Structure formats: structure tokens, C-alpha cells
Structure 1
Amino acid sequence: MNPLPIPATSISPLRQRLIENMTMRRFSAETQRNYMRDIGRLASFLGRSPDTATVDDLHRFQMAQQEAGLGVPTMNAIVSALRFFFVHTIDRPDLARKLVRLRYPRSLPDVLSPEEVRRLLGAAVCLKHLAALSVAYGAGLRVAEVAALKVAHVDSTRMLLRIERGKGGRDRNAMLSADLLALLRQWWIEGHRQGVLHREGWLFPGQSWTRPISTRQLHRIVVEAARAADIPKRVGPHTLRHSFATHLLEDGVDIRVIQVLLGHAKLDTTALYAKVATRTVRAVVSPLDRLALFHGDEASPG
């Protein structure tokens, strides 16, 4: 993705250096926008350039955020942006160390059962929507990664989907199953017939074939399909990614392999799925059962 489309004449040297730092590390356009917005929060709070911030300024800024009722994830995202700015743009790691990252208990993600996934995919209103949702679930991609796929990223020889500049600006390969490839080939034939798919274009174009589908539109597609499938759970694009990881874990795939497929930098992030893998829990034999104390006892617990 290209750096933020801001005319060079309107950018201060500090802002330009920040953009160059982010572009050099291959941050996505969305990440760049988020970082610029969050660094701008500090500038607005100070009423002056953020590179003039002091330790006391940062303390007051974070206290003001908390008093304003900002959620912990939002506050931590701002910390990430400011730490990047202080460390890489103005070379003040001492200030970065003064920013407090808050801990909070992560709630377990909603996961669909295989049957619910089947119903959701069956409720897709067209081949394009079915293909996009199938990629999200079948390869475990983030919604932005689905939107950013190009036709050329489908590698049928090695049976891989090439993900360019995923989260953190990292490239990786995602899995491409035989069934998913067959579906994408159907979508290619139909999309090419409609004139919306081109060999050098987006795999899921938006209203114009020159631009990719938006993440907002993908979210709407998932929500509408879940509603049509009569699925009561709160469902979004990331639910399909959660379900992909959980179902692999329940099928006995090594958690480190799942980590690679998801593109997680830390195993701890992937390990969260062990808490929602119910089939895995049910498959474990309790040590009480191994004692065989109650075999033949016809009493029922209720």
C-alpha cells in the first residue's frame, strides 16, 4: 500500500519524517492513518507540536484519556503510536518508556460451529460474496487482508495465497485449499465475464474494478449473511478468522502451525483459541475416568 496521499507542500518536516519512518517499515495506509490520528490527539491536548512533550505532559495526557472514558484498547493503541513517534521519529526513547500500557482481561472470541459456518456461507447472496467469505474462513485472513488480495496473489501452483503487507507490514503465505481454489476459479470466470476481474486487478473489487472492496462492505456482507442464516451470535469478518483457528485446533493441528497461518507474531495470541476449542476439551480423558471407579454404576447425575 502507498503512503498517505497528502500533498508534500502541506506537510511539516516532522510530519514528513514520521510518514517516511512508517513507510520504510511498510506500515499499511490504515496503520499510518491511525498513528497520525493518535499522535494528533497528543498535539491537540498540548496545543503545540508533540515533539515538545515532557514526562509531565504525557502523564496528564493519559490521565485525561482515562477520565474521558476511553477504552483500554483505544488507550493502548495510542501508546503504540506515541512510542513509535518518540523512538523512531524524534529519538526520545526515554519518553516512550514513560507511557503506560494498561492490562485488561481479553474476552473469549465468539466462534461459529462448522454447521453455522456452512449456513452462513450458504446465505451469501452472490458468488462474489461467497468467495470473499470463504477466503476469510478458509484461509483465516483478517478483513483488511481479504480486501487487499489481488488476482495475482492466488498461487495455484504452490496452493498458497500471498498476503502482502499484512498486520505490522509483514508479508506471509496463507493456505489455499483445493475447494477454495475451485471456488475462486468459478469467481474468476464469472467476474471476468462481468468485466470486473482482471489479471492485474483486485480479487474482490469494489464499485469500480480499479479499487478494492472496502472493509466496511465486507463487514456488512458478513452481518447480512449471518442474519439471513438465523445465527444469533454477534458475527463479523473476524469471527470467521476466529472460527478458522479454533476448528484447526480442534482437528489436532499443532498450535505453532496455526500461529504461522494466522500471521501472529506471538504464540500467546494464538493460544487464546485453546480456551474456546470445545471439541479439544471434550476429547481429553479426565484422570477420574481413568480410575474406573464408577463403571457399572447405573446411577444418573440427573
Structure 2
Amino acid sequence: MSLISPACRDALQSWLEAQKSLMGRSENTIIAYQGDVTDFLSFMTLHHGEPHGLKPLEKITVSDMRSWMAHVRGDGVGARSLARKLSAVKSFYKWLAEREGFEPTAVLSTRAPKFQRKLPRPLPQDAAKAMIETVELQSLSDWVAARDVAVVTLLYGCGLRISEALSLKGKDAPLPRSLRIFGKGNKERVVPVIDAARDAVETYLRLCPHAKDPDAPLFRGARGGALSPRAIQGAMAKARMQLGLPATATPHAMRHSFATHLLEAGGDLRAIQELLGHASLSTTQAYTAVDTKHLMDIYNRTHPKA
């Protein structure tokens, strides 16, 4: 942050603390925000050729914003990443304008570049089931194999994020019929737990050599510490190679598969939104595009005139 004035540095730190404590942003989000806004403020300092305190921020123009966006794109940053950076800058700038009492229109009116939103990449139902079965074969240790099956079953059976599954504690087992999950932004939701997931966790606990501790992670690494997401990612990478599945067959794809398969079975979009913990229905609506593509594929394959 050497290019940033002390006043800007303090303001940025205050905003980040507010994002974490009041908005419940995750640590990864805070790190991304810090980098994005720091780069923006550093650019403005160099762009104007002088240390950029708070007062000059009030005078940023549309032309300044265009110069910054051109600079970012010139560094090879794609439209999607630039849109994310702009979102962070706008959030910081809105907060700063409210605190300092200036008009932030030039920054807030800047339009994000258009980009093609990537659709979720779910697995077909048979592939999702095969993934769970094949993950079990990736370890010579019975308890590690059972652990990996339990985690992946939770991802697919309950629609959990990998971070949510690995945040479970010993006191959460035996798993109840429904789990209270705290997801992104500390948003709380209640998720039904299917019998297959409960049984998989019970099998893992029966084989696990580490003593159950109510306050310790439910899923343990080889040495008894918290299980790393990389261990599950690695097991799934081996399994997908054996199954001939694409590189998109990741832990998060199991969550996508959960949502898509519910939708295909006639699930209500708003109910699926609640189960996934999406703050906005528009996020969940991406699955309708996936489901429409699935239906059109069937139509094109089976229609007599196709």
C-alpha cells in the first residue's frame, strides 16, 4: 500500500472491517476486496501524479474511471474479473461517500463490461452416483475412503459447499434429519439431510481412528487435524479420470448437480434457492438455463422432425 496516502489506507481498513463484521464477508472475499481497491487507489495516485488523499477521491471523473478500466484490461484481466473489481470499488466508494458526504455518481454510474455468464456444469445423475462410488476406491485406508464418500455424499445429497461440509463439528454427529448451516455472508439456512448422507457419516465415524471431539472438526485429515478441501479435490480428480468425466467434475459440481437434479424432478425454484442459501433468486435462476438446455437436448434427439 506504499502508493496510498495514510488517510486512504485508514479508510480502506475501516471499510474492510465493516464488510467483515457487519456484512459477514468471508476471509477470502475480504482479501479479494483489499487487493481490488488497493490496486484502484494506487492507479489513481499514479494517474494524477500525486499522493491521493481522501479529498481528491471526491473529484474522480468518468474519464478517470475509463482510464482505470482500460489499464486493468491492458494487464490481461478478463471482463468477468474486471466486473468483480469494479463491484468492489463501487462498494468502497459508496461507503466512503456516505461517510465523507460527497457525490459518488461518476464512480457508481460506471458500467461493468458485458460478459457471458457461465452456466453451472452439473453432472448427469448416473455420473454423480458413479463419482460417489469411485471416490471410495481412491484410498487404501478404509477410514479415509469412508470419509471421502461421506463428504461427497453431503455435497450432492444436501447441496453443501465444500467449506460448509468441512465446517461441521463433532457435536453435529450423528447427523440430525436437518442441519443448520451458516453459508456465505454468515447467511443461515436449514438443510434436510437424506438417509444416505447420515449413513455415510456414521460409517466414517465408526472407522475413523481419531477420537470424536465435540468441538473438533467432524472430518479429519490423516494426522487428525482439520481436513483440507484439497484432499477431497484430489480424490475427485482421480475418480473423474477413471470415469472419463471432464475437469469440471469438482466438489462444487456436486452442489450444482444437487440443484439441477431437484429442478429436473419438478422442484420449486424458490425452495431450491433456500436450500442452496442463495441471497438472490437470480443466482438460482442460472439452473433454469441448465434445465432448459437439458430439455432442448432431449427434444432435438427425440422429436420426429428434429
The total of aligned residue pairs comes to 275
| Partners of 2:42 and 2:228 in 1: CA distance | 29
> In the alignment, is residue 98 of structure 1 matched against residue 105 of structure 2?
no
Distance verdict in 2 for CA 1:215–1:57, change over 3 Å: farther
- Among 141, 160, 164, the residue aligned to 1:145: 164
- CA shift in 2, pair 1:209/1:73, >3 Å: farther
**SS of equivalent residue, structure 2 residue 216:** coil
Q: Which amino acid aligns with 1:161?
A: L
Q: Does 1:18 align with 2:18?
A: no
Alignment match, 2:48? none
Counterpart of 1:222 (choices 216, 219, 236) is 236
Q: Which residue type is aligned with residue 59 of structure 1?
A: R
Instruction: Report the equivalent of 1:274.
Output: 288
Structure 1 position 180, deviation (Å): 0.6
Amino acid corresponding to residue 36 of structure 1 in structure 2: Q
Which aligned pairs between 1:228-243 and structure 2 lie closer than 5 A? Answer: 228-232=242-246, 234-243=248-257
Asked if residue 67 in structure 1 is aligned to residue 78 in structure 2, the reply is no
Contact 2:12 2:92 in 1 (8 A): no
Aligned equivalent of 2:202, options 152, 167, 185: 185
Equivalent residue, structure 2, for 1:8: none
Q: Which has the higher helix share?
A: 2
Contact 1:153/1:162 (CA < 8 Å) preserved in 2? Answer: no
Q: CA deviation at 1:87?
A: 2.0
Whole-angstrom CA distance in 2 between matches of 1:279 and 1:71 = 26
The answer on whether the counterparts of 1:138 and 1:244 sit within 8 Å (CA) in structure 2 is yes
Q: Do structure 1's residue 194 and structure 2's residue 237 form an aligned pair? A: no
Partner of 2:192: 175
Correspondent of 1:116 among 120, 123, 127: 127
Cα distance between partner residues in 2 of 1:128 and 1:260: 27
Distance in structure 2 (CA, Å) of the matches to 1:301 and 1:18: 59
- Could you tell me how far apart the structure 2 residues matched to 1:233 and 1:81 are? 30
Which amino acid in the other structure matches residue 77 of structure 2?
Answer: L
Give deviations 1:185-206, integer Å, cap 9, x for gaps: 2222333x334x5211222344
Q: Aligned in 2, Cα 1:100/1:26: closer, same or farther, shift over 3 Å?
A: same
* Shift in Å, 1:266: 2.3
2:179 pairs with one of 161, 175, 182: 161
CA contact (8 A) 2:40 2:68 kept: yes
Q: Which residue identity does 2:184 align to in structure 1? A: K
CA shift, 1:153, in A, is: 4.6
1:44 maps to 2:51 = no
User: Gapped runs of 5+ residues in structure 1?
Assistant: 1-10, 290-299
Q: Secondary structure at the match of 1:268?
A: helix
Q: Is the 8 A contact 2:153 2:196 kept in 1?
A: no
SS at match of 2:241: helix
The SS at the match of 2:285 is helix
Evaluate the alpha carbon distance shift between residue 205 and residue 88 of structure 1 in structure 2; reply closer, same or farther with a 3 A threshold: farther
Equivalent positions of 1:82-97 (< 5 A) are 82-89=89-96, 91=98, 93-94=104-105, 96-97=107-108
Q: What is the aligned partner in structure 2 of residue 136 from structure 1?
A: 155
- Cα distance 1:130–1:22, how it changes in 2: closer, same or farther (>3 A)? same
Structure 2 counterpart SS, 1:123: helix
Q: CA RMSD in A?
A: 3.2
Q: Distance in 2 between matches of 1:49 and 1:134?
A: 52
Unaligned runs of at least 5 residues, structure 2? 1-7, 46-50, 139-144
Q: Secondary structure at the match of 1:194?
A: coil
C-alpha offsets along residues 250-293 of structure 1, whole Å, 9 cap, x if unaligned? 111111111111112222222222232379737x99xxx9xxxx
Instruction: Read off the aligned partner of 2:82 and give its amino acid letter.
Output: M
Residues 151/237 of structure 1: CA separation in 2 closer, same or farther (3 Å cut): same
Aligned-residue identity in percent: 26
For the Cα contact (< 8 Å) 2:174–2:198, is it kept in 1? no
